[in-house]
Every structure is written in C-alpha cells, then in structure tokens.
Amino acid sequence: MTNTEKERQKAITTAGNPARPTGEAGQQMLARMNESHAALTAWGLSHFHWRGDETVLDIGCGGGANLHRMSTHITTGHLTGVDYSATSVQTSHQTNADDIAAGKM
C-alpha cells in the first residue's frame, strides 16, 4: 500500500468514526473493515461446531459481514445483530437483505 493510499484510508477512518460510524465515510470504513477482518473472522468461526439451529446474537454487528458469514451455517436457527450506529445498522441491512426478508435474520 502506498503512502498516499495509507493517508486516504486514515482520512476515511477518521471521518467515518470507528467508535460510531456515520455517513458515507462510515459506510466506506465499514466496507473496508468487513474486507480486512475477513481472514481473522473466518479463522475464529472455523472453531465453531455448527448444528444449524443456533440462535445467534452479534452485539456491535457493524456492517453485518459476520452475520452474513454465520448465516451460511444457520439453516433453521435465527440471527440477530445490534449496533448503536444507525450507519452500521443500515449497512448491515443492505448486506443481509435476503436473510432479513426471509425471516432468518
């Protein structure tokens, strides 16, 4: 990553407010976090022994990528995500629209 790109990413993070993402910069930051945390999240989720009927609560669900990943393992259970950032909730809704419409989330 070039210095210019690092500076751009830092500016997005600052404007997006990691503690409570807001606005377009918050959406960009959430998208980047969803992508950059994917490998660590996949590793963590690989240690779960899924049955498919779990009830999952993701507190601080951010952009909803983890809910989406867990959803692939849940067949008859239900997933719920909560976040105090309206931007995070909106992004999570967009990420998981199909599962929300199906009543799975």
Contact 83, 67 (CB under 8 A): no
pLDDT for 45 equals 93
Q: What is the pTM of this model?
A: 0.82
Give counts: helices (H), strands (E), the chain: 6, 2
Rounded-to-integer distance, Cα 20 and Cα 11, Å: 15
- What are the structural domain ranges in the chain? 3-101
For 1, 8, 16, 25, 36, the CA distances from 4, given in Å and listed in that order, are: 8, 6, 18, 17, 18
At 64, the amino acid letter reads G
Mind listing the pLDDT tens digit for each residue in 25-46?
888 888 888 888 889 999 999 9
Mind listing the pLDDT tens digit for each residue in 4-21?
888 887 887 777 777 788
What's the topology of domain 3-101?
A: Rossmann fold (3.40.50)
